[in-house]
Chain A
Amino acid sequence: MSAMPFEDFETAYETLATAIDQAGPAREALFLTRLALVLGHELGDIASFRKAIETALDGLE
């Protein structure tokens, strides 16, 4: 899978941060879970989704 150009990735980062704030502390977990399901579905590949989950879980303090 090709990674995003850095500029686009930076925009993704900013968009996500704004969206988490928009969801608010009470709904941020639900928002992020919905986001993960939508992205997983659009990714269309369970192996890549599992790998993304591992990457995100790894090193959580």
Chain B
Amino acid sequence: MRPAGKGTLESLYFDYPQFAARRVPELDGATARHPVLIVGAGPIGMTAALVLARYGIKSVLIDRKDTFNDGSRAICIARPSMHVLERIGAVAPFVEKALGWRFGRSYYRGEQIFRLEMPQPPGEKYLPMYNLQQQYIEKFLHDAVAASDLIDMRWQSELSDIETRTDGVSVRISSPAGDYRLDADYVLAADGARSPVRSMLGLRLKGDNYEGRYVIADIRMDHDFPTERRAFFEPAGNPGGTVLIHKQPDDIWRVDYQLREGESEADALKEENLRARVGAILADVGHTKPWELEWWSVYSANTLCLDDYRHGRVFFIGDAAHIVPIFGVRGLNNGLADAENIGWKLALVLHGEADARLLDSYSPERRGATLDVFANATKSTRFMTPPTRGWRLAREAALSLSLKHEFPRGLANPRQMQPYTYSESPLTPYAEHDAEFAGGALCGSVAPNARLNDGSYLLDRAGNGMTAILFCEGQPTREQAALLAQLGRIDKRFVPVLVTSSSAASEAKAVVDVDGEIARLFAAAPGTLYLLRPDLHIAGRWKAIVAGEILKTAGLCLGSETP
């Protein structure tokens, strides 16, 4: 909602573009079948299109609206998502505009009880979190979409019917320029929480709804506080309810406040009531200068997902597949990971470089990530919105003890988004080797990064196919060289990255790790090999190479092997 007298898209800081419907070839009789149709040009749909474009795959991207999503939606971009944006060539405007952060504070009755500090290992290229309004996220992605010859973006185009067959998908699309039929090999449904594709296919989200309701308000103010997450339990400005405050670019601040039990939603959403409440909250944090109201809405937490993110040749990505609570910033970030996961797999399949069975791994991997999110988000949601008297009492006891004691303070940790570890994925068949390592990154997790002497980063060297990081003294042994050559034969995108402990390495492109910092990061010794997938998750790691296992793992990631 916007203040009285304002239009729905009349923002204090963002100019919504208006995109026209185009006359498309199908309206003039074209019947060419498209490799991929993406339904929904929100952040997830656009990212999926850009991942496919990175691999040279064309897509048609439709959206029923004529502009970006309005209001205050996703605002936190986590480090792994920055890597996704980097790989699709879109990260630069995000780095420039977004506000990076890694700290937070939780208060109880006005006193600080918890200091959130998200780790920032020295080799990482990006901060753990960046705040940016979804409008800008969509704008920056759309700029990249518009610059791509491979993405056929069609605004004001609504899916009106879908028919799935074993060999393809036919849809009907309605637009002001006319209605037409379109055929595609695959459909990615990125059409959001109320996904029409999901309804048309008769599929339903399952899971839980939570009681607690939050009002979300974006305001503009000149307020001097660093970019941190602030959580206020039992603040004087909102007795009986929790408050969250996040800073966004353009002096926009997001204020989330919990409604008291039994409070009427309709009353809470009335502009004068909202202004009074936000005013009290701001006075409580010491802001007495003027502020302006941008937009507001009401929210309650859900943990809902589909049983299977795949329905034949239709794949659900983002909110169309799963709805997660806002606490922990996992909605957008998991959606971006969905888009990348299906993107690289589908691209390799469409190129004929991978067997279609690779697509079977999408749903277990990403649904597994959702269930993991649910487990964490359920804990944070119960803390943020205690559902019963027992939960409320336990929280009050823990928070009040936190004022003088350290031990309960961790309960106020917001458990911010962590990338999911695909350790039980069919593409991670040798996770048991983790036991042989004294540390480093687990099989299935995102590879750690390292800053190199020339200012570049280790993962900059990874390719868009499989990547092997091999630790060696000087140069690879004959056996290692033979394995790398064989990997290159089964994956034409394969990139070997050598990390040598000797500066006298004869391999010109090797990364020289003189002080052993990279080896320590990976708990590696000469002979250790990490095999990375295109999304830079670790498919497997070996203290010393076992050619059969490594080739089998690479084969699984290319769909050429069966688990």
**Interface residue tally on B, bucketed by range:** 10 to 19
**Binary B-proximity of A15-48 (CB < 8 A = 1, otherwise 0):** 0000000000000011001101110010000000
Taking CB atoms, residues of chain A closer than 8 Å to B408 are: 37, 41
User: B118 an interface residue at 8 Å Cβ cutoff?
Assistant: no
CA gap between A30 and B400 in the complex, in Å:
9
Bound Cα distance A36, B397 (Å)? 9
* Shortest Cβ distance from residue A59 to the other chain B in the assembled complex, whole angstroms: 19
Residue among A29, A37, A38, A41 facing the most chain B CB atoms (10 A cut-off): A37
Nearest to B393 among chain A residues (CB) is A33
How far is the CB of A40 from the nearest CB of chain B, in Å? 10
* Contacting pair A30 B407 (CB below 8 A): no
Tell whether, in the assembled complex, residue A38 and residue B401 are in contact, meaning their CB atoms are under 8 Å apart. yes
A30, A34, A36, A38 interface centre (most CB from chain B within 10 Å): A34
Closest Cβ–Cβ distance, residue B530 to chain A (whole Å) = 36
B398 contacts A by Cβ under 8 Å: yes
B interface residues (Cβ-Cβ under 8 A, vs A): 393-394, 396-398, 400-401, 405, 407-408
Interchain CA distance A23-B407 in the complex, whole Å: 22
Give me 8 A-to-B residue pairs in the complex whose CB atoms sit less than 8 angstroms apart, sorted by A's number.
A33-B394, A33-B396, A34-B397, A34-B401, A36-B397, A37-B394, A37-B397, A37-B401
Chain A nearest CB: distance from B265 CB in Å?
29
Closest B residue to A33 using CB positions: B397
The CA-CA distance from A29 to B400 in the complex, in Å, is: 13
With known contacts A37-B408, A41-B407, A30–B396 Cβ distance under 8 A = yes
How far is A38 from B400 in the complex, measured between Cα atoms in Å? 12
CA distance A58 to B73 in the complex (A): 47
A29 to B, closest residue via Cβ: B393
Chain A residues near B394 (CB, 8 Å)? 33, 37
Closest Cβ–Cβ distance, residue B391 to chain A (whole Å): 11
Instruction: List residues of chain A with CB under 8 Å of any chain B CB.
Output: 29-30, 33-34, 36-38, 41
Q: With A and B bound together, what is the CA distance between A38 and B406 in angstroms?
A: 11
Question: Which 9 A-B pairs give the minimum distances between C-beta atoms?
Answer: A33-B397, A34-B397, A41-B407, A33-B393, A37-B397, A34-B401, A29-B393, A30-B396, A30-B397
A37, B398: Cβ atoms closer than 8 Å: yes
In the complex, what residues of B have CB within 8 A of residue A41's CB? 407-408
Q: Which residues of chain B have C-beta atoms less than 8 A from A37's C-beta? A: 394, 397-398, 401, 408
Closest B residue by C-beta to A40: B407
Q: How far is the CA of A11 from the CA of B401 in the complex (A)?
A: 24
Q: How far is the CA of A29 from the CA of B389 in the complex (A)?
A: 11
Q: A36 contacts which chain B residues (CB < 8 A)?
A: 397
Report A45 CB to chain B, min CB distance, Å. Answer: 14
Measured between beta carbons, the chain A residues less than 8 angstroms from B393 are 29-30, 33
Contacts of B396 in A (CB 8 A): 30, 33
- Give A41 to B398 CA distance when docked, in angstroms: 11
In the assembled complex, the Cα of A38 lies from the Cα of B407 at a distance in Å of 9
Question: By the criterion CB–CB under 8 Å, are B400 and A34 in contact?
Answer: yes
Select from chain B the residue with minimum beta-carbon distance to A41: B407
Which A residues touch B407, using CB under 8 A? 41
Tell me the complex Cα distance, A41–B410, Å. Answer: 13
Contacts of B400 in A (CB 8 A): 30, 34
Who on chain A is nearest to B389 by CB? A29
Contacts of B397 in A (CB 8 A): 30, 33-34, 36-37
| Further pairs besides A30-B396, A33-B393, A41-B407: 13, Cβ < 8 Å | A29-B393, A33-B394, A33-B396, A34-B397, A34-B400, A34-B401, A37-B394, A37-B397, A37-B401, A37-B408, A38-B401, A38-B405, A41-B408
* Shortest CB distance B113–A (Å): 14
Question: What separation, in Å, do the CA atoms of A34 and B404 have in the docked complex?
Answer: 12
Give chain A residues whose Cβ lies under 8 Å from the Cβ of B401.
34, 37-38
Neighbouring A residues of B405 by C-beta, 8 Å: 38
In the complex, which residues of chain B have a beta carbon less than 8 angstroms from the beta carbon of A29? 393
CA distance A38 to B396 in the complex (A): 13
- Whole-angstrom CA separation of A29 from B401 in the bound complex: 14
* Chain B, Cβ-Cβ closest to A38: B401
Q: In the complex, what residue of chain A is closest to B398 when comparing beta carbons?
A: A37
